[in-house]
Amino acid sequence: MFAVNQTTLAVHNSDDRFPVRRVYCVGRNYADHAREMGSDPDREPPFFFSKPRDAAFTVAEGIRPELPGVVPYPPLTGNLHHEVELVVALGSGGSSVTPEHALDLVWGYGVGVDLTRRDLQDVAKKTGRPWETAKGFDASAPLGLLAPVTVTGHPAAGRISLSVNGEIRQEGDLAEQIWSVPEVISHVSGFVELAAGDLIMTGTPAGVGPLLRGDRVLGSIDGVGLVDFHVV
């Protein structure tokens, strides 16, 4: 038989690794981003999509040891977009979790970028097809170091931003999320049973836009961390 590698992520100031089970992503969780994508930002129930767990990787370590700090430009697209997001890492799970108990599941937080083949997504939206090829491709979830709650607390507010080649593209505040982290966890747990190792990418503020080969990308969230890479 053959061995399948377990996806693990690096942890801030620790030799421990965070093993990834599943990756859930929240769509349009900031009103300004919903508007720029042509949607009504009213507080409708959130919707979700998934990425393969091996799409997530610690970008400082690289998709391979010889490629630290870089993200490959994916094939079959001419319009790769950045979306900086707060990432929630779960240390335990459950189903039908109430918002009041949802934060008990959280192990820690990080900063990630939901990379999107926007041209493929636009076609999928028009034809009513799934988003997997637009959202779930290889290396589509570059992440900074994860940090436990003992370091970050539970961030409900704080600046979230992304720059490309030193120019700010996205800027907002976690307090502007339509659905808070406890509400998001509760909602996802109504559809599936969550478990330790699950990641939830919680949506992005306005300003999403294209990336080109050679671009330097820096995403940050106050009190949480950074994600820093070049597109190659």
Distance of alpha carbon 88 from alpha carbon 102, whole angstroms: 11
Q: What does the radius of gyration of the chain's CA atoms come to, in whole angstroms?
A: 16
Mean pLDDT of 195-218: 97
- Percent of the chain topping pLDDT 90: 88
Mean pLDDT of 53-62: 97
Distance of alpha carbon 3 from alpha carbon 11, whole angstroms: 24
189: buried, middle or exposed (CB in 10 Å: 19+, 13-18, 0-12)? Answer: buried
Pairing status of strand 141-143 against strand 56-58: parallel
Angle at 205 between CA 201 and CA 208, to 5 degrees: 95
Structure confidence at residue 11 as a pLDDT band (50, 70, 90): very high
pLDDT in tens, 90-107: 999 999 999 999 999 999
Distance of alpha carbon 28 from alpha carbon 34, whole angstroms: 5
Tell me what pLDDT residue 100 has.
Answer: 98
What structural domains does the chain harbor?
A: 8-231 (3.90.850.10)
The distance in angstroms from the start CA to the end CA of the chain is: 35
Mean pLDDT of 12-30: 95
Tell me what pLDDT residue 33 has.
Answer: 61
pLDDT in tens, 145-204: 999 999 999 999 999 999 999 999 999 999 999 999 999 999 999 999 999 999 999 999
Tokens at residue 52, please? 């393969």
Please check the confidence at residue 31 and state whether its pLDDT lies above 70: yes
Cβ neighbour number for residue 179 with a 10 Å cutoff: 20
pLDDT in tens, 131-147: 999 999 999 999 999 99
